[in-house]
Structure 1
Amino acid sequence: MAPLELALQGLALFGLILFIVLWLMHLISIIYVRLHLHKKSPDKQPYSKLPGVSLLKPLKGVDPNLLSNLETFFELDYPKYEILLCVQDDDDPAINVCKRLLGKYPNVDARLFVGGKKVGINPKINNLMPGYVVAKYDLVWICDSGIRVKQDTLTDMASQMTEKVGLVHGLPYVADRQGFAATLEQVYFGTSHPRSYISANVTGFKCVTGMSCLMRKDVLDQAGGLIAFAQYIAEDYFMAKAIADRGWKFAMATQVALQNSGSCSITQFQSRMIRWAKLRINMLPGTICEPIAECFVASLIIGWAAHHLFHWDVMVFFLCHCLAWFIADYIQLQGIQGGPLSFSKLDYAVAWFIRESMAIQIFLSALWDPTVRWRTGRYRLHCGGTAEEILDV
């Protein structure tokens, strides 16, 4: 066999393997969502004996939903927890929101910390340090400012924290909101993101986002405490890695981590996706292959492989494969939503097509510029996940 023909056969075989892997990911994710999410977890310990939890809440600035989101944490139905509100700047308007809630709920064990402590380049870690140092419970729950919870969310997470589990995380999703940008976010966090997130966790790869994570404080302390992760921008990945390296298992909550930011636009969504892609590329160089797992690119590769191996029409296969992907994503989105969607099937179709069309542009933008803008800072990423702050002269 000629070298060219041998190479083409190898590429066709790769396309066939890619097809199998990607559809296994679809199936794993859809089945897991149907069996695990939105299911009331069995009571593994009496309510009164649930462990105490220190909630660390990093806050910066005020968006239209901050007050209502934050208030849901003051209304948690949980026997023993404290809320440690952390604000970096003395003039941050989030301070007034915190004081308002502290006055409204005097019986909730909650405190406000202003000023942070500079221990590294990660602004979130710097902000949380004063709260982490005084946290009095064995479990710490780090939860972003834009997250909204139900009264039993913490009970659900704590019930997953069995004796061999060191970290419980929530699958990121988005609350129902008005506007196309909100629909685009919800479609992404209900289709592409959970497909890789869930299939990675089910097959043994530790994939965790820090939007809502319940962790054992003593395990973090063994790794050096929060300060040990201040050199990274993606502190959640490295905290999860440190916990896994010490032999602890992970568990996923049955409730999603419900993002409910009051500020939403397509530009903000693109910037966020580009920042995440930059972090993944620098932490895990293998993610350079991510584009082949996107619908349109994968369908072209697999369509060419089907043509080379079975003489099928490339364009017909491409269209059929994209349609099957589109339907599988819709089934998964419905499962993660756990109820009726807030938008029409036409809205879904438009948002899905735009998201898939944006994927390559987002990836190329991440490769083009190695710097990251996050909050008020700008950072240069280094291989391995570390970063340095770029100071404007």
Structure 2
Amino acid sequence: MPSNALTDSSTEKHTAYLVLSIVGIAWYLILWSLGLLGCRSARRRYRLRPRSPLATVSPSSAPGVSILRPLKGLDTNLYENLESTFTQEYPNYEIILSVADENDQALSVVWDLIAKYPHKDAKVVIGEEVVGVNPKVNNLIRPYRQAANDILWVLDSNVTVAPGTLARSVDVLIGPPSSSPVSPPSRRIALVHHVPFAFATEPALGARLEEAFLNTNHAKMYIAINTVAIDSCVVGKSNLYHRSDIERVNGSLKPIAPTISTEDVASEDRGLAAFGRFLAEDNMIASALWHELGLRHDLSCDVARNAIGKMSFADYIWRRVRWIRVRKHMVLAATLVEPFTESVVVGLIAATCLNYLLHIPRWLFLIIHCGAWLMVDLDVYESLAGHPVPESSRLAFVAAWFMREGLALPIWMLGMLGSEVDWRGRKYRVLQNGEVERADDRQEHSGWIRWFGGPSQDGHYQRLDTVGNAQ
């Protein structure tokens, strides 16, 4: 081969590597910018939680709120979780606790709390209305329709909230009072949500991994994405919205034409029941408000404290796999990019690029990268918790953090391999757009996948039909 041909080939190769290296470094800087934005926003939003003026006004001066808590079995920390809604510093709210089965063991806790707080407006709804495959939606339909107020606060049964959470959330939802003639923004806040903050009640490996994930990387990216606010991104642990808005959407994500009247919209198959076909109904409700009505979401300065019990290593893996499989049918492009947002993959990319461009040793860069990434994540934890990671558990937390980071790519690959998921002991097949159907008893997971133990239960939940006094 002529020498000039070899030279041309070498030049083209060098140019290609140079371009790829520059792209890799640019992506790395974008990820760091997003992470630092999440860290900064967490500091600004969560390190100061002032008391809302609504906490001390008369009941007639505060918008009425209906708190809906769907229950199933004896979830971890259930008594304290439910009691946190009875102790809200807010003058005008009702509590509706619902179960699908009259023999549900959560009822014993519910009756105890109602007896302890006889002056609270609390009631129980027993019996579900099946409108789809999602059991949470089926459990919520009757309390949703019976609620006395337009503002609804839907809380998962494994969530504890601070006493001032409701008042501060209503502040965000309705906006500050104003006597000025200036017209309000065209895109009002239609949904207020809260960042999950996990706390393990038992020292199980899966619970430690879930803590390390939710309280650092997940929270950081969740806050950053909601700060940028270019699209809907909502987790349904704790959501506040108007029922009148929900009645106008159906999950199609198609904008409602301004020429369509409210009566025409309401007459169609819309409202909460329309979301019974989705597994991630919370995310779909939020997306529907965003895309169909052109409304927006916001975070309050509170967190949804997520109690985690005996979550095994396999439970943690299959919990993450479940939501990857749901997301890939809802937002495929974002799910495909997901591995390239994780610290291990993006660190390796940047290390390789910098080694080519500047001859920086990969091992040296990776040490600096991992240390800096960890410091940012620990700062996010401190913002959400109100204190640093306790010294007594710091070593275990950091070890779980490193393990979580290393597992992110293998779990993602496992999630991309199938479309069946287990949720609270039931098997579902995820369809297009995140809709689901009940799957048969055939085990999709076989061969080497069974090494992980398979999805035995929903994280820290236990099944009523298999374990004595547990769910």
User: TM-score range, shorter-chain basis?
Assistant: over 0.9
Whether the 8 Å contact between 1:141 and 1:215 is mirrored in structure 2 is: yes
1:209 equivalent in structure 2: 235
- CA–CA distance in structure 2, aligned partners of residues 284 and 44 of structure 1: 39
Q: Summarize deviations over 1:168-226 as a string: whole Å, max 9, x none.
A: 00011113645254443222112110121111111113211000000111100111211
Deviation at 1:346, TM superposition (A): 1.7
State the match for 2:338 in structure 1. Answer: 290
**1:225 is matched with which residue?**
271
1:14 and 2:23 aligned: yes
Cα distance in 2 for residues equivalent to 1:47 and 1:156 = 13
Alignment of 1:173-212 (within 5 A): 173-175=197-199, 177-179=201-203, 181=205, 182-204=207-229, 205-212=231-238
Give the match for residue 353 of structure 1: 402
For residues 208-264 of structure 1, give each alpha carbon's deviation from its aligned partner in whole angstroms, at most 9, with x where no partner exists: 100000011110011121111111101111100111121222110101111124443
Query: Is this contact kept in 2: 1:273–1:362, CA < 8 A?
Result: yes
Q: How many residues align?
A: 393
Matched with 1:305 is: 353
Taking the aligned partners of 1:377 and 1:389, their CA distance within structure 2 comes to 8
Shift of the 366–318 alpha-carbon distance from structure 1 to 2, 3 Å rule, reads same
In structure 2, how many angstroms separate the alpha carbons of the residues matched to 1:104 and 1:232? 37
- Distance across 2 between alignment mates of 1:47 and 1:282: 46
User: How far apart in 1 are the matches of 2:378 and 2:327?
Assistant: 26
- Gapped regions of structure 1 (runs ≥ 5): none
Q: Which residue of 2 aligns with 1:329?
A: 377
Distance 2:116 2:317 in 1: 37
Hey, what's the Cα distance between the residues in 2 that align with 1:143 and 1:310?
Answer: 51
Q: Are the aligned partners of 2:429 and 2:437 in contact in 1 as well (CA < 8 Å)?
A: yes
Pair 1:172-2:181 in alignment:
no
Q: Distance in 1 between matches of 2:98 and 2:440?
A: 24
The alpha-carbon distance between structure 1 residues 41 and 248, as it changes in their structure 2 partners (threshold 3 A), is: farther
Counterparts of 1:9 and 1:379 in 2: how far apart (Å)?
46
In structure 1, C-alpha distance between the alignment counterparts of 2:168 and 2:38, rounded to whole Å: 21
Q: CA deviation at 1:349?
A: 2.1
Cα shift readout 1:21-40 (whole Å, capped 9, x = no counterpart)? 11111210111111111423
Is 1:260 aligned to residue 269 of structure 2? no
CA distance 1:43–1:145, shift in 2 (3 Å): closer
Question: Is the contact made by 2:329 and 2:433 (CA closer than 8 Å) also made in structure 1?
Answer: yes
How far, CA to CA, are the matches of 1:242 and 1:44 in structure 2? 31
Cα offset for 1:70? 0.9
- SS of the residue 2:387 aligns to: coil
* Greater shift in the superposed pair: 33-42 or 142-151: 33-42
Counterpart position of 2:171: 159
Identify if the C-alpha distance between structure 1 residues 15 and 217 changes in structure 2 by more than 3 Å, giving closer, same or farther: same
Shift of the alpha carbon at 1:15? 0.9
Q: Do residues 40 (structure 1) and 56 (structure 2) align? A: no
Structure 2: tracts of 5 or more residues without a match: 1-7, 176-187, 250-269, 443-471
User: Quick one: distance in 1 between partners of 2:85 and 2:13?
Assistant: 62
Report the secondary structure of 1:222's partner residue: coil
Tell me the TM-score normalised to structure 2 length. 0.79
Normalized against structure 1, the TM-score is what?
A: 0.94
Matches of 1:168 and 1:329, distance apart in 2: 24
* Contact 1:50-1:158 within 8 A present in 2 as well: no
Q: Verify: 1:114 aligned to 2:126, yes or no.
A: yes
